[in-house]
Structure 1
Amino acid sequence: MFYLPSNLIKTKAVHYEGPIRVSVKEIEAPTIQHPNDAIIKVTTAAICGSDLHMYQDRTAAEAGDRIVLPFNVADGRCRNCEEGRTAFCTGVNPGFAGGAYGCVATGPYQGGREQYLRVPEKEHEAYFALLANIFPTGWHGLVLAGFGPGESVAVFGARPVGLMAAYSAVIRDANRIFVVNKVPERLKEAKEIRCMPVDFTKSDSVDQIIKMNDGTIDRAVDAVGYQAVDSSGSKEKPNVGYVPADPGAPDAQSKEGQILISFGKLFEKGLSLSLIISGRVKPSFVVSHEINIDNAPGAYEKFDKRIDGYTKVLIHPNGPL
C-alpha cells in the first residue's frame, strides 16, 4: 500500500512552456480538496499524440504553463456518466461537456506527468498505462467500423491508436489486416503483429490494398489523426481534430475547426479488460521508449519529429519500476 509522504510540499511535473518547448519543474504538491478525493503516486504516464496539439501551439488557447496530458475526468454522477458517456461528463467542467487532465478547454485539472496527482472523487487510477487512452480508443474504432471475426480490415494511420486498432483486429480474429503509414518503424511494428504494412508514399494505398487482398476489404478504421499529410508524406492536409480551432491548420476553414465532407458519401457508406490479466493481450509492444521524467523534454521533441524510433513513450515520474 502507498502512503503519501507527510513532508510532501513539491512534486516534479512536465510543464508546457511555449511552442515546441516543455520542461521539468517542481510545482506545489496536490492536496485533498474534497472528502472523496485521493492522491495517487504516478508510476507510469504516456506521451500521447494528442499532446502535440498543445506542444505545437495548435490550439486557440493562450500560452500558459499548463501540464500537457489529456485524459478524461468524470464525476460518475451526471446523466452522461450514468449512461456510460463519461467522456462527456457535465459535472467536472462547467460550461463544457467533458473534462481532462492538462488539456486545453477541459477544466482546471493539472496534467498527469507528475510524481503525485490529485484524483477527483469517482476517478480511479488505470492499472495499465495503455488502458488510459490508446488501447480502448483503437478497440472502439474497430467497434465503430462494425467489424466481425473473419473479416478483412484496413487501418489508415499507424501511430499508437492505429496500431492498437490493428492489434484489436488481430485479437478479434480478423482475416486480413492492412495498416497504412509512411514511417518505417511503424510499418515494421504493424508487420510484427501479423498485419500487412502499406506505404502510401509508394503508390495509392487503396489500390495497393485491393491488389494485395484480391478485391475490396470489409471494414476500415480512420486513425490518421489531425496531422494528416498528402501522398508525398510532406504536405499537411486538413483532417478531423478534437479542438474547436486550429491556428496552425493548412487552410482557413480547418483553422476554424471545420472540414468539408461529402455528406452523400457519408449516407452511402452508413457510417455510424480481463484480456490483459489472462495474458492473451500484451499491448506494450507499441512502446518504444521508457524514460525518467527528467528526460521528458527531449522525448517530446523526438516524438514530435518522429525520429530515433520514438513511436510511443512512457514516462516514469518516480523512477524505474
Structure 2
Amino acid sequence: MAENTGVVFLGRNKVEVQSIDFPKMQNPAGKKINHGVILKVVSTNICGSDQHMVRGRTTAPTGMVLGHEITGEIIEAGSDVEYLKSGDLVTVPFNVACGRCITCREQQTGVCLNVNPGRAGGAYGYVDMGGWVGGQAEYVLVPYADFNLIKFPDKQQAMAKIKDLTMLSDILPTGFHGAVTAGVGVGSIVYVAGAGPVGLAAAASAQILGAAVVMIGDMIPERLKHAESVGFTPIDLTKSDNLGELIAAVVGKPEVDAAIDAVGFEARAQGKDGQEAPATVLNSLMSIVRAAGGIGIPGLYVTEDPGAADDAGKTGNLKMRFGLGWAKSHRFYTGQTPVLKHNRQLMQAILHDRLPIAKIVGATVIPLSQAADGYKAFDSGAAKKFVLDPHGLLA
C-alpha cells in the first residue's frame, strides 16, 4: 500500500501532519466508484474557513483530514473517466458536485443534492459537507472527475504560474463571485469588508470588473498595509465605529454602489474595543450601500457555532437590521461559491497576465510538514496566504 500523509484536526487550535490512508476509489459511505481520479497533490492552501474549524467554532469532529483548496496531477483514473488521463495537471473546485442534479445543471454546484446525505452541498475536508477526505495531503480522491476538474492546457506554463493558479480552487472564484453578485461593474464604488485572502481576491475581482474605487476594511495593521501596497484603499476600522464616516473621507459621501462581506460570522465590531459581533458586517454594509445597491456575502456563516457568545449565535441566528436593507431595496446574495461558474475564465485571466492573484493575496509557499506553523501564523493575522507544497514541486 502506498503511503500518504495529511493535516489532521485534533481539537481546538491543534492540527498535526500524520500518516493517513492512501485514497481509494470509493465514496465516504464505502461504495466503490469509477468516476473518480486519484491526485498527487501539487499544491493545497490553508483557508480562513479551515480556521473556523480549528478555532473550535464549528462541530467538526477530531480526526478530520483538512483541506479543500487543491491542485494536482492525476495518477489514476477510474474506468468511467473519459476526458482526463494520468499525467494531467488539474484544478479542483472545493465544491464536490455530481453534475447530474437540478442544482448542478443550473451551475449551482455549491449546493449539489447528491454528494452529501445531510444537506445540500459537499466539500473536501469540511464539517457537515459529506465526509469527503480533505486535500491538505500528499494524495487525494476527487469524484465525478470529468464534471469537476479543469485540465490546464499547458502543464509547463501552469507550473510556472502555479502560485496564482492554486487560488482557482476557492478564494479567487469566491472573491469574484462576491463581486459579481454585489453588482460590481465599470465605474462602481466598492467596499470590501475584510483584508484577508478572500477579501483581497474580492478587491482584485472588483478591479478587473471595472470598479473605479475599491476600499477594503480591516482592523489588523499588517493586512491594511499589504492591501494598500497592492493597490487598494485601506479603511482602518479601529479609527471609528461609524463606517459611513470612514467611507466619506475617501469618496466624499458615506455611500457605495456595492459591498462584499469577506468576513463572515466571526466578525468584530468597529472601533478600538472590537468585541465579537456576528452581524456587525452585514448591518454596517446595509448602512453604506446605496438604495438599490448590492451586497455579496461570500463570508462564511454557520448553522451551528458552539463558541458563540450567546444562545442565538450558537444556532446561527443573527441580530440583523434587515428592515434597513429591505427599505433600501438591497440585493443580498449568500452561500458557497459555485466555483465551476467562474474558474475557467479566471484561469484565462491568470494565464494571460491579467490577474496576478498570488502577489495580491501574499502567497507564501511552505512544506506540508510545516502546516501547523502556517495555521498559527494565519490565525495571528499574517498578511499571507499559505500554500502547502506536499512534494516539493513549488520550490
Q: TM-score scaled to structure 2, two decimals?
A: 0.75
> Are residues 1:218 and 2:257 paired?
yes
- Deviation at residue 90 of structure 1 after TM alignment: 0.9
The partner residue of 1:96 within 115, 119, 122 is 119
Residues 139-162 of structure 1, C-alpha deviations (whole Å, 9 max, x = no match): 111112112201211111111111
Residues 45-72 of structure 1, C-alpha deviations (whole Å, 9 max, x = no match): 11000011210111134x3200122421
Alignment-mate amino acid for residue 207 of structure 1: E
CA contact (8 A) 2:11 2:62 kept: yes
CA contact (8 A) 2:175 2:202 kept: yes
Q: Which residue of 2 is the match for residue 188 of structure 1?
A: 225
CA contact (8 A) 2:264 2:278 kept: no
Residues 277-298 of structure 1, C-alpha deviations (whole Å, 9 max, x = no match): 2111111111342100000011
Query: Is the partner of 2:45 in helix, strand or coil?
Result: strand
Using the aligned pairs only, state the percent identity: 38
The partner residue of 2:322 within 263, 268, 271 is 263
Query: Aligned partners of 1:87 and 1:233: how far apart in 2?
Result: 36
Query: Aligned partners of 1:290 and 1:245: how far apart in 2?
Result: 32
Write out aligned runs for 1:271-290 (5 A): 271-272=331-332, 273=345, 274-285=348-359, 286-290=361-365
- Deviation at residue 241 of structure 1 after TM alignment: 4.1
Q: Which residue of 2 is the match for residue 249 of structure 1?
A: 308
Count how many residue pairs are aligned between Structure 1 and Structure 2.
311
- Deviation at residue 113 of structure 1 after TM alignment: 0.4
Query: Aligned partners of 2:151 and 2:201: how far apart in 1?
Result: 17
Alignment-mate amino acid for residue 80 of structure 1: T
Query: Aligned partners of 1:298 and 1:283: how far apart in 2?
Result: 23
Query: Cα RMSD (Å) of the superposition?
Result: 1.8
The partner residue of 1:14 within 7, 16, 20 is 7
The partner residue of 1:235 within 275, 280, 295 is 275
> Are residues 1:305 and 2:388 paired?
no
Structure 1 residues 263-272 or 289-298, which shifts more?
A: 263-272
Write out aligned runs for 1:24-39 (5 A): 24-33=17-26, 34-39=33-38
Structure 1 residues 81-90 or 116-125, which shifts more?
A: 116-125
Q: Which residue of 1 is the match for residue 78 of structure 2?
A: none
Q: TM-score scaled to structure 1, two decimals?
A: 0.91
Report which of the two has the higher share of strand.
2
Q: Which residue of 2 is the match for residue 79 of structure 1?
A: 102
Alignment-mate amino acid for residue 110 of structure 2: A
The partner residue of 1:119 within 142, 148, 165 is 142
Query: Aligned partners of 1:93 and 1:236: how far apart in 2?
Result: 31
Query: Aligned partners of 2:273 and 2:167: how far apart in 1?
Result: 28
Structure 1 residues 73-82 or 139-148, which shifts more?
A: 139-148
Query: Aligned partners of 1:78 and 1:294: how far apart in 2?
Result: 38
Q: Which residue of 2 is the match for residue 41 of structure 1?
A: 40
Query: Aligned partners of 2:226 and 2:47: how far apart in 1?
Result: 17
